[in-house]
Amino acid sequence: MTPSSYETIRVDREEGYAVVTLNRQKDMNALSLQMRCELEECFESLERDDAIRAVVLTGGDFIFSAGMDLKEWEQIQDGELDEYFSSMIKYLKKIYTFRKPVIAAVSGIALGGGFNLATVCDLIIASETAIFGHPELKFGLNPLFDPLMRLVGHAKAKEIAMLGEPIGAQEALRIGLVNKVSPPDKFLEDAKGVALELSKRSARAVEAVKRISDIVPRLDKGTALEHEFEISAVLFSRAESRAHFRKFIGDLRKKKGDES
């Protein structure tokens, strides 16, 4: 499947990064089976593309995603449930474990499955209009807990999951759910700026940071330090890393010379 053949998402390639836009605006970007499959295939393709070093995932200017497609949900038969939930696991796992950084650019509502989708990204840039929420428990379903807990901590994640109250952009920033809040006309530009900056960094080093952030919280302090320095030694042994290091030192010395 090529980017031009996607029906529920749009993929725009920029210099060093890609912008993936959910494209079911009339349906509030509801996460249909087709959209989930296209997202999985899209991220699989982008992961193989060495020219793409980061990805921005957005729903556009007015809405991120209202969650699962309820019209589709109502038509599912009991015998189809395993396949349906398997598709949820596959597309979220593809983004959650994506080797390159993923920045969610969120405007408007991100509810239920839409909230899940934002939390499996590495960073979240929110518009001032953003509203996050997990209303699933009110319908007898459970929200995705692990990605949320990693962002806001165990106690806060339980509160959000159990109560299902909406969270505005500024509150989301206060509790560590999002990384930055931007004006509605700048949130996507700011997310692209982060992607561009990350695309200039060593791809191996950025991937290493992603792995470290997943692994070290589960280790004791001593083992965590050993693990990080082991990765540092491997990275520094590569010619690419040494070249980046020499350039950084050279730029630093030049800056100091200009200031003196």
Distance CA 39, CA 43 (A): 6
Neighbours of 234 (CB within 10 A): 12
3-state secondary structure 32-45: CHHHHHHHHHHHHH
Distance CA 29, CA 26 (A): 7
- Is the C-alpha dihedral spanning 111, 89, 153, 198 positive or negative? negative
Catalytic residue among 128, 136, 165, 171: 136
136 is an active site residue: yes
Q: What is the DSSP letter of 26?
A: G
Sequence-ordered list of residues with C-beta below 8 angstroms from that of 117, at least 6 positions apart, any chain: 31, 57, 64, 65, 92, 95, 104, 110
Two structure tokens written together for 95 = 């983004």
Distance CA 246, CA 203 (A): 17
* Secondary structure (3-state) at 260: coil
Asked if 187 contacts 133 with a C-beta cutoff of 8 angstroms, the reply is no
Distance CA 235, CA 106 (A): 33
The residues assigned a catalytic role are 136
